[in-house]
Structure 1
Amino acid sequence: MGKHFISRYLYIFYCFVFILHIINVFLESETMNDTIGWFALVMLVVSFAGASRLFKILGMAFLFVGGTVYLTAGQSIIAIPSLFTSNMSLLVLLSMLPWMNSVVKSGRFDKSLNSLLHVNAKDLGSLYPRSSAITLTLASFLNLSAATISQDVLKEQLQTLKKDVRDSFIGTSTLRGYTLALLWSPLEILLAVTIFTTGVGYVSLLPWLLLIAGITFLLDSLWGRFYYRKYNYRLDREVNIDKKALIKKIAHLLLALILFLVLVIAIGNNLNLDFIFTVTILIFPFSLVWSIVMKRFKSFWTIGWRTWIEKTNTMQNFVVLFLSLAFFANSINDTPFLLFIQQPIIALAEYPFIIFVIIQLIFIGLSMFGVHPIATIGMLSGIVAVLIELMNPLSLAIVMITSAIATLTVGSYGLVVQLTSNNTGQSPYRITLNNLPYALIFGGIGSFVGYILL
């Protein structure tokens, strides 16, 4: 009973700590930071019971290694709580994302865009780029929800096809379109973590990430068009689409995204705030004003409040991961352990492309064993500190974000692959196998662009 009560109202405690952190970003008080550190320790303990087994193992590993290194280095025990606060901004960002998701749903943009999937196409080859592009557009705002929405529509539409063909089509078109949106979306947590780790500005990254997304989308669309064009299908009924209204919806959504990006850049530059924090504090007021302009405030608030509470109450996995990761990263700084793990990379400093490929393979390899890409970034954080001194940080950031995002299509135990497996009834290993060439090519394009920019 007590455990259920705590999990039901966990959002209140989380929200209290997050507000303290936001206030301290402006105050920059060491005393308040120490206080937040103690609250972070309580968050970690409370969240541990609700975390999944995998995240418990990762959290315990980071805490054990970080604690061992920290204590053997003779550091002060009193300073330990303050080591848990450096990733708090990422948790605050994660808690705010449901509000943007809710305003898009309240405006019914998801339903309007997915109506395009009902329009007749002569074969699966011509439907492939369309389904990928629609998932991409939705994912820019809806993140994980975009993939499941598109999959549900395609499942219904492709009922007459053989199951293996239908599953293959859904597992490739939706997951790949989904990743291409996350690559550059300011709302994607993996992008935020990469920026946080490398210190590279979002404005510097954006044009190159858009270029990579564009190249990858074109190559994948060509592949899908040729690979699936041998499969014919037809709908049971004719579907009439109001093209004018649909174009207005798409233009509205794109205009909102551009405006959000402009505001993030302008506010961040004028107030000298970092990218992650600027996105975090802008999401709610932007979503609120947008819902009022659309005259959808009531549905926005109803959807948003319920979704925010639900998502915040189930943040235990990320609380355990981010807080333990912060302790690990801060504990190993300036210690012999850090030098030990950096030596192999320093030895390959004259061969940056090999380093890029190794980073890509580490991300993909660990994802297949269930390691979240955020945890992989944490494991590489000590190496990143050295690489930034040896090469262009922009190149490194590009390689890390493309490698991390690519894993979302092949992580057999990852959330999006597992959801796709549940939606289609196919094995997650089959999804991984189908998308492995794409993940390698996607990451390879990122490595190639990164190498050119060195």
Structure 2
Amino acid sequence: MKRISGQLYIFYSLVLLLYISNVFIENRALEYIIGTLAIPMLFISFHGAANLFRILGLLFISAGVGMFIYAGLPVVELPFYMTSTMPLLAFLTILPWMNGVVRAGRFDRRINQLMKANVSDLGKLYTRSSFTSYILVAFINLSALPLAQGVLLKNLSNMKKQLRDSFVTRTTLRAFAVALAWSPMEIMVAITVDATGVSYLTYLPWLLLCSLIVLFIDLLWGYMAFRKHGYQPAIESEQFFHPKQVAVQIMKLFFALSIFLALVVSIGNVTGLDFILTVTLVILPFAIGWSFLMKRWKTFKVIGWVTWKERTNGMQNFVVLFLSLAFFSSSLNETPFLDLIQQPFLGAAEYPLIILFLIQFTYLAMSMIGVHPVATVGVLIEVLPPLYEIINPMSIGMVLVTGALATACAGTYGITVTMTSMNTKQNPYRITLRNLPFALTYGAVGVIMGYLLL
């Protein structure tokens, strides 16, 4: 199995490449072959998946089998019910190349210098490290967490563990949660854009505004909480720190992101492809072109390949989750059970604020028992479409994004909280308790903005 797990990237890539090709070919026989390949792809991935994802996968498969039989669907058509989430897997597979080009350009190192420059107290360090984490997360996503947490843990190693853990937990996880709200490379944003039919450019200013409002609230919150603590880094800061050089690197990153967004929107408008698929197709050629412009092609080639291969070989959790979810949601659509699940939402149709809060608390409650936000949204996007005629789909979309990302800093079994728990050697439930007030605040801001957009 170790030998197989080291070569999974070949199998995964083959299946996903066939799927993307068939988006343009639209061949029914090829779609059946892809669905057939998805079945061994799912079962092979079970071996390397975490227990939590195995349980989720088994629950979705069991429920899907029950509904498949109830609907009286022919077994021979089973492969057609396995492919609806393939675009999400393709998206996650190609994403590491963007991470690779940022690292090849050494943008992460330059920006990380912000956290190493001297400040007089932890309140000021909180604002600086939150801002730094925010920028890093916006461009390299999950890879920013160990990078930012590693620097802070070293610099705060001479402080009491409880204070250090509280500081690192709050500043990095909260910045992570708000930074992704507007990123086109965040899967929850991509899912929401396609599910609601509202363009990314329409969402962008409102998601960015929500992100900045919540970031400002947390910066003020953190500054007031930690300013009474003096700060002397355990490791000497670099002697030569040039704020202008760091500012230039940040400007370059945002300029590159602006070009990337322009390409995604332009290509999407011309081709009519879904947002998720458009981003997937643009990432690799954009990253290659950017590496040539920076004259970092050789470095990018090495870093990108190693990062991509490692991440793709480690995708078992998401393969199990997404393929089992595809089978579940596709089977659900063939039964009357979907109408039953929709009833609570339709019953509150005259009270849109209740619906928005219901979506928010559904995310939070499900995250507490280990259900990944993608699994939750996978069900919600099947349930909510009838409400689009009554409630502005953009209002629902705002809460779908903010509600999901609010769990990134408080979901006890989520990957970000688990990673932070391992890095800081603290109980994940303690991390949840520390960040729960922020998660509720974040969700409330998202709901208010969604309500104002009605």
TM-score, normalised to structure 2's length? 0.96
Q: Return the alpha-carbon distance in structure 1 between the equivalents of residues 379 and 142 of structure 2.
A: 25
Determine the structure 1 residue equivalent to 2:188: 190
Equivalent position amino acid for 2:406 in 1: A
Q: Return the alpha-carbon distance in structure 1 between the equivalents of residues 385 and 4 of structure 2.
A: 39
Deviations 1:223-261 (A, max 9, x none): 111111111112364543123322221111111111111
- In structure 1, the gaps of 5 or more residues are none
Q: Return the alpha-carbon distance in structure 2 between the equivalents of residues 166 and 412 of structure 1.
A: 19
Matches within 5 A, 1:355-394: 355-394=355-394
Secondary structure of residue in 1 paired with 2:233 = coil
Equivalent position amino acid for 1:348 in 2: A
Alignment partner of 1:207 is 2:205? yes
Deviations 1:393-449 (A, max 9, x none): 111111111000000100111111111112112221111111101100101111111
Secondary structure of residue in 1 paired with 2:228 = coil
Alignment partner of 1:449 is 2:421? no
Secondary structure of residue in 2 paired with 1:143 = helix
Determine the structure 2 residue equivalent to 1:258: 258
Secondary structure of residue in 1 paired with 2:245 = helix
Q: Return the alpha-carbon distance in structure 1 between the equivalents of residues 42 and 430 of structure 2.
A: 35
Conserved? CA contact 1:329–1:381, under 8 Å: no
Displacement, 1:171? 0.5
Determine the structure 2 residue equivalent to 1:158: 156
Q: Return the alpha-carbon distance in structure 2 between the equivalents of residues 35 and 425 of structure 1.
A: 45
Q: Return the alpha-carbon distance in structure 2 between the equivalents of residues 62 and 235 of structure 1.
A: 48
Conserved? CA contact 1:200–1:393, under 8 Å: yes
Conserved? CA contact 2:398–2:447, under 8 Å: yes
Alignment partner of 1:309 is 2:312? no
Conserved? CA contact 1:90–1:276, under 8 Å: yes
Secondary structure of residue in 2 paired with 1:159 = coil
Conserved? CA contact 1:341–1:382, under 8 Å: no
Deviations 1:58-109 (A, max 9, x none): 1121122122112212223222211111110110010011111111111111
Determine the structure 2 residue equivalent to 1:78: 76
Deviations 1:279-321 (A, max 9, x none): 1011111111111111111111111111111111111111111
Displacement, 1:334? 4.8
Deviations 1:114-170 (A, max 9, x none): 111111212111121211111111111211111111111111112232221111111
Determine the structure 2 residue equivalent to 1:59: 57
Q: Return the alpha-carbon distance in structure 1 between the equivalents of residues 89 and 56 of structure 2.
A: 17
Equivalent position amino acid for 1:438 in 2: F
Determine the structure 1 residue equivalent to 2:422: 422
Determine the structure 2 residue equivalent to 1:177: 175
Q: Return the alpha-carbon distance in structure 2 between the equivalents of residues 141 and 6 of structure 1.
A: 31
The CA RMSD over aligned residues, in Å, is 1.4
Q: Return the alpha-carbon distance in structure 2 between the equivalents of residues 299 and 398 of structure 1.
A: 38
Deviation larger for 108-117 or 155-164? 155-164
Secondary structure of residue in 2 paired with 1:74 = coil
Conserved? CA contact 1:198–1:384, under 8 Å: no
Q: Return the alpha-carbon distance in structure 1 between the equivalents of residues 74 and 422 of structure 2.
A: 48
Determine the structure 2 residue equivalent to 1:6: 4
Conserved? CA contact 2:71–2:334, under 8 Å: no
Conserved? CA contact 1:147–1:174, under 8 Å: yes
Determine the structure 1 residue equivalent to 2:66: 68
Determine the structure 2 residue equivalent to 1:101: 99
Runs of 4+ in 1 over 3 A off after TM superposition: 235-239
Displacement, 1:450? 0.8
Determine the structure 2 residue equivalent to 1:228: 226
Q: Return the alpha-carbon distance in structure 1 between the equivalents of residues 43 and 434 of structure 2.
A: 39
Conserved? CA contact 1:406–1:439, under 8 Å: yes
Determine the structure 2 residue equivalent to 1:272: 272
Equivalent position amino acid for 1:283 in 2: I
Determine the structure 2 residue equivalent to 1:25: 23
Q: Return the alpha-carbon distance in structure 2 between the equivalents of residues 328 and 184 of structure 1.
A: 29
Aligned residues: 452
Equivalent position amino acid for 2:273 in 1: L
Q: Return the alpha-carbon distance in structure 1 between the equivalents of residues 96 and 452 of structure 2.
A: 37
Displacement, 1:22? 1.2
Determine the structure 1 residue equivalent to 2:88: 90
Equivalent position amino acid for 1:116 in 2: L
- In structure 2, the gaps of 5 or more residues are none
Conserved? CA contact 2:82–2:327, under 8 Å: yes
Determine the structure 1 residue equivalent to 2:434: 434
Q: Return the alpha-carbon distance in structure 1 between the equivalents of residues 324 and 129 of structure 2.
A: 39
Secondary structure of residue in 1 paired with 2:384 = helix
Q: Return the alpha-carbon distance in structure 2 between the equivalents of residues 363 and 98 of structure 1.
A: 26
Q: Return the alpha-carbon distance in structure 1 between the equivalents of residues 266 and 129 of structure 2.
A: 33
Secondary structure of residue in 1 paired with 2:240 = coil
Secondary structure of residue in 1 paired with 2:48 = coil
Conserved? CA contact 2:152–2:168, under 8 Å: yes
